[in-house]
Amino acid sequence: MTDELFMRRALDLAALGQGTTRPNPMVGCVVVGPAGTIIGEGYHQQYGGPHAEVNALASVEDQDLLRQSRVFVTLEPCSHHGKTPPCADLLIAKGVPEVVVCNDDPNPLVSGRGLNKLRAAGIKVSTGLLATEGRALNKRFFTMQEKKRPYVVLKWAESADGFLAGPHFQPVQISGPQAGLLTHKWRTEEAAILVGTRTALHDNPRLNAREWPGPQPVRITLDKNLSLPPSHHLFDGSQPTLVYTHRHRDARPNLDFITLPPDIAAAPDVLPAVLADLHARGLESVLVEGGPTVVGALLASDLWDEMRVFRSPRRLERGIAAPRVGLRSWRTAENVGEDKLFWFENH
């Protein structure tokens, strides 16, 4: 029971790195001294910066106590020379006798080598404590490492009668202001945000987070024939933007055109190619804000991890139909202002 509490503390510390460690995982670490109390703590604060173990061990005042301490860390200590030296070596050098780990590191550079290194040095090692909670915290990191694609969050708002937009994609305000605020918060939580051509054309979205503080996502759209008006907000150079196309256009500051091979033309082929390219660029997650073709293709090819659907009490009577999902398979449903938010997970 106390071990669980120590690991919970380490997970809480890890979560403080939300938004600043990506595409690295969030990792927390707690040092428990010989008296059974916490004598040191730390977490991975910044991509490229020191790992959790380094910060936690350095925070211990009496370094001699490390020889009799138990170290709780939420991810397998690393074994590789990355931007920082291996944490496994540090734990060995400090003479730590026991390490308790939450999740094994799926990164092929580590993947068991950290644990083996510790064991080979005679350190007592156990793993899997609160593993479900650890995976949930680092869902983006685990998806990126294991599926070699970004974590995909589908989000849309639909009317009570199941429409996303008016006839001919005419934009209509469907969800209320609280849903809008939450959407802006979500935009700060994912590395990228993607919309299809027609949504980009008709909504002329800015795709930034204006109503919530935090990092801005990389904006992504699809524009096969480069038909979107260059005066649209997406091309204003205000934040990094990627346009996937079949044509060629030279890059401008904060605006890159990525030419897809001609045989990759229809949405079901384009989206896996886009996700693979985003993965190669180190973007660990993407919030997909429409429209129906993009969302439909991702649903059909099972390339999604979460779906967040706002259902408004408003009726539209006519328009563009929302993707059909069994609204009964939601994990949670809650009221957000006047709307109902249905939250789905793909298992």
Beta bridge partners of 80: none
Alpha-carbon torsion, ordered 236, 240, 241, 246, to 10 deg:
120
Per-residue contact string for residues 35-74; x = within reach of ligand AOF by CB under 6 A: ---------x------xxx---------------------
Q: Does 78 bind Zn ion (CB under 5 A)?
A: yes
d(CA 150, CA 134): 18
Q: Which CB atom, from 110 or from 275, has the smaller least distance to ligand AOF?
A: 110
Backbone angles phi, psi at 221, to 5 degrees: -140, 165
Q: Does 203 bind ligand AOF (CB under 6 A)?
A: no
Distances (CA, A) of 236 to 139, 188, 189, 204, 257: 32, 19, 22, 11, 14
Q: Which CB atom, from 123 or from 341, has the smaller least distance to ligand AOF?
A: 123
Active-site residue (options: 4, 41, 53, 345) = 53
Q: Does 87 bind Zn ion (CB under 5 A)?
A: yes
CB of 133 to Zn ion, least distance (A): 20
DSSP state of 70: E
For residue 292, say whether it is annotated as part of any ligand binding site: yes
Reported as half-sphere exposure (CB side, CA atoms, 13 A), residue 160 has a value of 7
For residue 187, say whether it is annotated as part of any ligand binding site: yes
d(CA 242, CA 245): 10
CB 312 within 8 A of CB 330: no
Q: Which does 75 bind (CB under 5 to 8 A by kind): ligand AOF, Zn ion, none?
A: ligand AOF
Reported as half-sphere exposure (CB side, CA atoms, 13 A), residue 5 has a value of 6
- 53 belongs to the catalytic site: yes
Q: Does 92 bind ligand AOF (CB under 6 A)?
A: no
Sites for Zn ion among residues 14-73 (CB under 5 A): 51
Stretch that binds Zn ion, among 77-85, 256-264, 290-298, 309-317 (CB under 5 A): 77-85
For residue 37, say whether it is annotated as part of any ligand binding site: no
d(CA 89, CA 93): 6
Which positions make up the binding site for NADP(+)? 157, 199, 291-297
Annotated active-site positions, please? 53
Which positions make up the binding site? 51, 78, 87, 157, 187, 199, 203, 207, 210, 289, 291-297
Site residues for ligand AOF per CB under 6 A: 24-25, 27, 44, 51-53, 75, 77-78, 82-84, 87, 105, 107, 110
